[in-house]
Amino acid sequence: MQVASVPRTLLIAAHPDDETVGAAIRISHTPGIRIVHVTEGAPDNPSGAFAAGFSTREAYAAARRHEALCALALANIPQDAVTNLQFTDQKVAFELESLISRLVALFKQFCPQIVLTHPYEGGHPDHDSIAFACHSAKILHELEHPESAFHLLEFTSYHADAGGITTYEFLPSVTNEYRNILTLAERQLKITMLREFASQQKTLEPFMQPEVEPCRRAPRYDFRKAPHHGRLFYEYFDWGIDGATWRDLAHDAERHLLNPIGRAA
């Protein structure tokens, strides 16, 4: 009996833990998957590190990486399948062109058939930045290597809902989604993986009763528009960026990297 091959899958997550929140069970069922964390998970402002019990942001970043490796080991993901690009948490929007270039290089190196990443939903500026960068890098990669086109899929992150937070649901879209209803064993595995992130337990409380892992093909976003009406979730925090500034930065990167004149310059 011939065993069906598993598509080469590359998961791009903003922070160590986003992959577990959005796709722990899919990860556990995807042999050969590679995980890329874009940021170290530690902002420049050390207050988050201090609040989590660390004396420096560097120690905090190291702990977050270790937590992710321990969580992923429960899904049988070896350490050498996990990469961190070492961007700074909350600052990815200011380095979009650099990130896009790094992703283009990764796509060329690994030739994925599926890339799995964040939706554009205004939950966290880094999530939106990774969504934008993956869309942009896919365009550039497939212009140079049309024979290596891949499917861009999304896992859920979170977004604002009447001043609160919605988890395990996408914002409405024209794209159909696949809702993987978790078995009892899968729920327990995901919860066990989430508990490995000791430094993030307060942040992860809204995710600790997983029932479903939705996934969908990435829709065609207009990144010049807000992902939804009203205040974005990250605009409730002093993270040095709001939605209007993020959209300006994305538009600048888009004009420079994706405009034919910009590419020729």
Domain architecture of the chain: domains with CATH: 9-264 (3.40.50.10320)
Residue 263 scores a pLDDT above 50:
no
pTM, 2 dp? 0.94
Q: What is the percent of the chain where pLDDT is above 90?
A: 89
> What is the pLDDT averaged over residues 198-218?
97
pLDDT digits (tens, 9 = 90+) for 188-203: 999 999 999 999 999 9
Question: Rounded CA gap, 234 and 228, in Å?
Answer: 13
Nearest to 200 by CA among 14, 75, 43, 63: 63
The answer to whether the beta carbons of residues 46 and 164 sit under 8 Å apart is: no
> What is the pLDDT averaged over residues 68-89?
98
Distances (CA, A) of 172 to 120, 156, 216: 11, 12, 11
pLDDT digits (tens, 9 = 90+) for 15-38: 999 999 999 999 999 999 999 999
Question: Rounded CA gap, 145 and 137, in Å?
Answer: 12
pLDDT band of residue 163 (cuts 50, 70, 90) is: low
Predicted pLDDT of residue 3: 43
Residue 108 scores a pLDDT above 60:
yes
Per DSSP (E only), the strands in 114-157 are 114-117, 151-155
Predicted pLDDT of residue 175: 85
Q: How many CB atoms lie within 10 A of CB 139?
A: 14
